[in-house]
Amino acid sequence: MMQEPKESKEESIAEITLEGAFRELDKVVERLESREITLEESFKVYQSGMELLRTCNEKIDRVEKKMLQMDEDGELSGF
């Protein structure tokens, strides 16, 4: 099985939507709960899940910051 280069994998994770990342995280959990996964595979899957989680947190943080910048008219204002 060929693995993607790390840079392209990180780029694709950064481009994923929040909803898509949550779906992928569900798949990660299912895979980790599987009895057919080796210890080595579980570490790789766990690492992938942590990368997805970090991406989700960053996306949520960006949205929260934008929401905090909105004024009463719904316009974005600078800090």
Q: What residues are paired with 57 via a beta bridge?
A: none
Output the pLDDT for position 3: 45
Residue 70 pLDDT > 90: no
pLDDT tier for residue 19 given thresholds of 50, 70 and 90: very high
Alpha-carbon gap, residue 13 to 57, rounded angstroms: 12
| Beta strands in 14-78, from DSSP E residues, in sequence order | none
Contacts of 54 (CB under 8 A, 6+ apart): none
Q: What is the mean pLDDT of the chain?
A: 82
Domain spans of the chain, in order of start: 19-68
pLDDT digits (tens, 9 = 90+) for 30-42: 999 998 999 999 9
Output the pLDDT for position 66: 82
Output the pLDDT for position 10: 57
